[in-house]
Amino acid sequence: MNLRSLIPTGRESAELAWGFEPFRSMQRQMDRLFEEFGRGFPTFAPQTTEQLLPHMDVSETDKAIEITAELPGLEEKDVEVRLSDNVLTISGEKKSEREEKERDFHLVERRYGSFARSVRLPEGTDPAKIEATIDKGVLKVTIEKPAAKLAKTIDVKTAA
């Protein structure tokens, strides 16, 4: 018989050393159950700015940086693209311009309000080389990459 097989290790040793606590284990399992149960259900809390932020993809090719943002329902006049101190900011506002006097709304899931997303660009980005287009609620911003700065090795000579 091996003496080590009689000495509890790991989780069993903690339970034996401090005593088995079935209620604490049950409480952890119940907490986990309620956390999992609450996922996936819509919340009825007021809108936060995070809910209004458009989803963005930032990709890079050899010559350009491309930013694609989902802006459903927005048109060219509703969106502003601005570059300041190498920070590109996409901002806009969704507006609700409807009036219905015959209905009482109990739940409105459409979101309205202003938003802004910013992305830091490489140093030396030329604002004149940025193009932005919007088509069917998808904004595409193409930024030409600045030319790479060349490094030069300087020969060290002995002083005369």
Render 12-80 in DSSP notation, one character per residue: HHHHHHH---HHHHHHHHHHHHHHHHHTTSPP-SPP-HHHHSPPEEEEE-SSEEEEEEE-TT--GGGEE
- List, in order, residues 6 or more apart from 130 with CB less than 8 Å away: 81, 83, 88, 141, 142, 143, 144
Q: Which residues belong to CATH 2.60.40.790 in the chain? A: 49-97+108-144
pLDDT of residue 30: 85
* Mean of pLDDT values over 3-18: 54
At 35-49, the pLDDT tens digits run 777 666 555 555 444
Backbone angles phi, psi at 8, to 5 degrees: -70, 140
Q: How confident is the model over 126-147, as pLDDT tens digits?
A: 888 899 999 988 999 999 988 7
Q: Which CATH class is domain 49-97+108-144?
A: mainly beta
Query: Is residue 14 scored above 60 in pLDDT?
Result: no
| pLDDT of the residue at 44 | 52
Chain position carrying tokens 């004149």: 128
52-56, 77-81, 86-90, 95-99: least confident range: 95-99
- Do 91 and 80 contact (CB within 8 A), yes or no? yes
- What is the predicted pLDDT for the residue at 49? 46
